[in-house]
Structure 1
Amino acid sequence: MEQFDVLVIGSGPAGEGAAMMAAKNHKSVALIERHFEVGGGCTHWGTIPSKALRHAVKILHDLRRNPLLREFRGANQLTYPQLLASATKVVESQVASRRRFYERNRVPIFAGEASFVDAHTVEVQPSMGKSQRISAGHVVIASGSRPYHPPGIDFSHEHIRDSDSILRYPEHPFAVTIYGAGVIGCEYASIFINLGAKVTLVNTQDRLLSFLDDEIAEALSYHLREQGCVIRHNEQFKALEARERDVVLHLESGRKIKSDLLLWANGRTGNSQQLQLDRVGLTSNTRGQIAVNGHYQTAVGNIYAVGDIAGPPALASAAYVQGSHAVQHILNPSIEPHRLEMVPSGIYTIPEISSIGKSERELQEEKVPYEVGHCAFKNLARAQMTDERVGMLKIIFHAETLAVLGVHCFGDGASEIVHIGQTVMASRDLNNIRYFTNTTFNYPTMAEAYRVAAYNGLNRLT
């Protein structure tokens, strides 16, 4: 039986972060991956292919609306399968890069399904051949998640898909119903509406993405509707009628929605069912997630859980840092807990959304004195040149100390722009709204929205 200092289960962002941190600190580390290639769900059927698809759709959208390119007729004939194919090379490149990371750092990869024997021993069952056991001082569970499948829905039907299988849909849909208006649902609503499909987005809540700042969530809702998306709030699933050529979604309200494609995007489940957690005294909740502390340590001291299987925020970006932090805690148990509040969110709708820090609603509930600075992108020279006028940057800052408390952005490039605010918020010396008025931004850029928004907020102070 082979023995290592650290054993990592899963090669997605969380597993990679853990494995690389252990290897860089000269710990013997091994990785178990049940898929035929490294990268996890993020690379193969999640973040990478879906965002590559979104990028292809965005290019198509820009071609169709740009007056300089209106004569380009081919753009109107591209189909969903053709656009999906454009993501293949990105996935292949990502897999090759990640494989090299493990090779260069001498991290052996064991192919197969992992299950616990005891707290220090894991059995690996390959798809063919005999199983083997691996022993380790510490185990990091980074097995990821999969789309939630409620009982009674036949996901083998060709017109019923989840967020994984939608990336293998072989036709160009005419009408799409999306059940679940979370991040994934909103992203695919943007994709299909910009492909010219009729989209109905069914939301079980009373507003879109309630974790976002209200103003940003309202802006997204407005622009989805403006693009032609029908949004149904406060609706609950009753039944699904799968027919030969279409699907009818029955809701508790009595509403019936017919479409040729239904995308079920209502939650995800942690991949814990095969791990035999009971053998080490651990359990998972109803969504397959394992409880952890601020260091991603489970109730069993030498076992950690990171990424989607540890619950929110369930972001690829956060998962990598979570895996890294778990191993840092193994190396030095006295380190501070990971600060989740400094993890930015990125939502790749069209236009995209990104935010970090507090929302207005949260600050109102906490009775923190604050002020807000806005910059509408339509007023920026760069946005006018690129014709990306939709959106805004919103900076929330303390009305007395002027410390930046939150940055919320809606519009093209939002996921890049937010990092300027993140850097300022993370710095004890720089965190002041006046930093944005005192620094020099390239002109014309979208980044100068920070200067405009800062002046707008400071002018509101009494």
Structure 2
Amino acid sequence: HQCARTRAQHTRGRASFVDPSTLQVIKDDGETMQVSCASILLAVGTKPFRPDYIPFDGRSVIDSDELLDIKELPRSMVVIGAGVIGIEYATIFSALDTAVTLLDPKSTMLDFIDKEIVEDFTYQLRDRNMKLLLGQKADKVETLDNGKVALTLDNGRHLTTDMVLFAAGRMGATDALNLAAAGLEADSRGRLKVNPETFQTSVPNIYAAGDVVGFPSLASTSMEQGRIAARVAIGAIAKEPPKYFPYGIYAVPEISTCGLSEEEVKERGIPYECGIARFRETSRGHIMGLETGLLKMIFSLKTRRLLGVHIVGEGATELVHIGQAVLNLKGTVEYFVENTFNYPTLAEAYKIAGLDAWNRMGDIKSEL
């Protein structure tokens, strides 16, 4: 719809480089055409990483793309990989009453998220009987004659399940682009290195944006990267984007965060205070019957400015935008204390958390 609104010409097909300024496109109907242009933006995304030691069969051992085509819900599932995609699917199937085991070689998960939020999230997962086998690796995966899948872990433990979802990473979908013809080279995971300010690759007229350039691999940031790259490509002034953007993890429950985590604030040596609100403290939370949900804000003791907002619970990915706006506009704790929020809403949690922080910080001192 947005392409139609901007009258952007759209052609379906598979493209590959002929030279740095020319693409060959094989259209869906088999017709081949060549397109020459001054600038090229690559936004090809990623595909699931499929290591040789995993016996993918599209039925009982699948990747995150094949998951969308399953015919029925499994009674049990082992998810290999505790990254964002693995956690999202693991919690979705757990909410659908599948017995889920989450397996990952790392002893921690979601390291870029505030530790207190991850601890609350982990508690909720364990509370609904999800098994978290962190710090353990699957050495062997094999399909049994009865259709089930057997896993042998590096500690000798054996697991049997109806389905294995391998979600331990993705690779840039660049293998069919003939990058060599354009003078480009991808890394071992198929990703392209770019200038983080202009999103230019090593070839000046070729740009890349989205998952193919790596972290944070979010749809929202990918669109902004593409917008900046397009403006640079046509010589338009591209303003520096806002310093902080939100992360959204669409697990059950949702997680969303914007700004600095408490661990990052500590590393920078910034004196700080936190404010906490639990969704069950809000009237809307009572109406919705929520027993879980947490909103955390971090403020500078020196400037009283908001440094970070972190949420786990119902509607977290929507609620975070209030904190994002205050953060990028350099707002202080007083914003949350002195402003009125609709009642009853979960957004009231901002006022509760703001008051919690303000009570710990005290009123503004005269010298400030």
Structure-1-length-normalised TM-score: 0.75
Q: Structure 2: give runs of 5+ residues left out of the alignment.
A: 363-368
1:16-165 to structure 2, matched below 5 A, reads 98=1, 101-165=2-66
For 2:155, the equivalent position in structure 1 comes to 253
Matching residue within 262, 287, 292 for 1:390? 292
Distance change >3 Å, CA 400–CA 352, structure 1 → 2: same
For 2:125, the equivalent position in structure 1 comes to 224
- Larger relative helix fraction: 1
Between stretches 164-173 and 413-422, larger displacement belongs to 164-173
1:295 aligns with 2:217: no
- Contact 2:228–2:238, Cα closer than 8 Å, also in 1: no
For 1:25, the equivalent position in structure 2 comes to none
Matching residue within 351, 358, 366 for 1:451? 351
Distance change >3 Å, CA 350–CA 318, structure 1 → 2: same
User: Deviation of residue 450 (structure 1)?
Assistant: 0.8
User: Deviation of residue 333 (structure 1)?
Assistant: 6.0
* C-alpha distance in 1 between matches for 2:193 and 2:329: 31
* C-alpha distance in 1 between matches for 2:326 and 2:283: 24
* C-alpha distance in 2 between matches for 1:338 and 1:444: 34
* C-alpha distance in 1 between matches for 2:232 and 2:177: 23
| Aligned CA-pair RMSD | 1.5
Amino acid of the structure 2 residue aligned with 1:364 = K
1:307 aligns with 2:210: yes
User: Deviation of residue 335 (structure 1)?
Assistant: 3.4
Q: Percent of aligned positions with the same letter in both sequences?
A: 39
- Contact 2:231–2:237, Cα closer than 8 Å, also in 1: no
1:380-419 to structure 2, matched below 5 A, reads 380-419=282-321
2:352 aligned counterpart, secondary structure: helix
* C-alpha distance in 2 between matches for 1:417 and 1:447: 7
Matching residue within 181, 188, 201 for 2:82? 181
Amino acid of the structure 1 residue aligned with 2:203 = V
1:190 aligned counterpart, secondary structure: helix
Matching residue within 419, 425, 435 for 2:327? 425
For 1:263, the equivalent position in structure 2 comes to 165
Distance change >3 Å, CA 161–CA 396, structure 1 → 2: same
- Contact 1:157–1:242, Cα closer than 8 Å, also in 2: no
Deviations along 1:90-128, whole A, 9 cap, x unmatched?
Answer: xxxxxxxx3xx3334332222221111111111112344
1:297 aligned counterpart, secondary structure: coil
- Contact 1:372–1:396, Cα closer than 8 Å, also in 2: yes
Deviations along 1:59-91, whole A, 9 cap, x unmatched?
Answer: xxxxxxxxxxxxxxxxxxxxxxxxxxxxxxxxx
Deviations along 1:249-291, whole A, 9 cap, x unmatched?
Answer: 2222222211010011100111010111111221111111000
Amino acid of the structure 2 residue aligned with 1:269 = M
Count of matched residue pairs: 360
- Contact 1:269–1:288, Cα closer than 8 Å, also in 2: yes
Matching residue within 187, 193, 208 for 1:285? 187
1:409 aligned counterpart, secondary structure: strand
Deviations along 1:43-70, whole A, 9 cap, x unmatched?
Answer: xxxxxxxxxxxxxxxxxxxxxxxxxxxx
2:361 aligned counterpart, secondary structure: coil
For 1:47, the equivalent position in structure 2 comes to none
* C-alpha distance in 1 between matches for 2:237 and 2:30: 43
- Contact 1:189–1:201, Cα closer than 8 Å, also in 2: yes
Distance change >3 Å, CA 337–CA 119, structure 1 → 2: farther
For 2:106, the equivalent position in structure 1 comes to 205
* C-alpha distance in 1 between matches for 2:52 and 2:105: 18
2:77 aligned counterpart, secondary structure: strand
Matching residue within 231, 250, 264 for 1:348? 250
User: Deviation of residue 391 (structure 1)?
Assistant: 1.0
2:37 aligned counterpart, secondary structure: strand
Deviations along 1:141-164, whole A, 9 cap, x unmatched?
Answer: 000111111113232241011111
For 1:461, the equivalent position in structure 2 comes to 361
* C-alpha distance in 1 between matches for 2:89 and 2:72: 15
Distance change >3 Å, CA 146–CA 278, structure 1 → 2: same
User: Deviation of residue 208 (structure 1)?
Assistant: 2.2
Q: Structure 1: give runs of 5+ residues left out of the alignment.
A: 1-97
* C-alpha distance in 1 between matches for 2:350 and 2:58: 49
Amino acid of the structure 1 residue aligned with 2:136 = E
* C-alpha distance in 2 between matches for 1:409 and 1:152: 37
Amino acid of the structure 2 residue aligned with 1:437 = V
* C-alpha distance in 2 between matches for 1:337 and 1:292: 16
User: Deviation of residue 329 (structure 1)?
Assistant: 1.8
For 1:241, the equivalent position in structure 2 comes to 142
Structure-2-length-normalised TM-score: 0.94
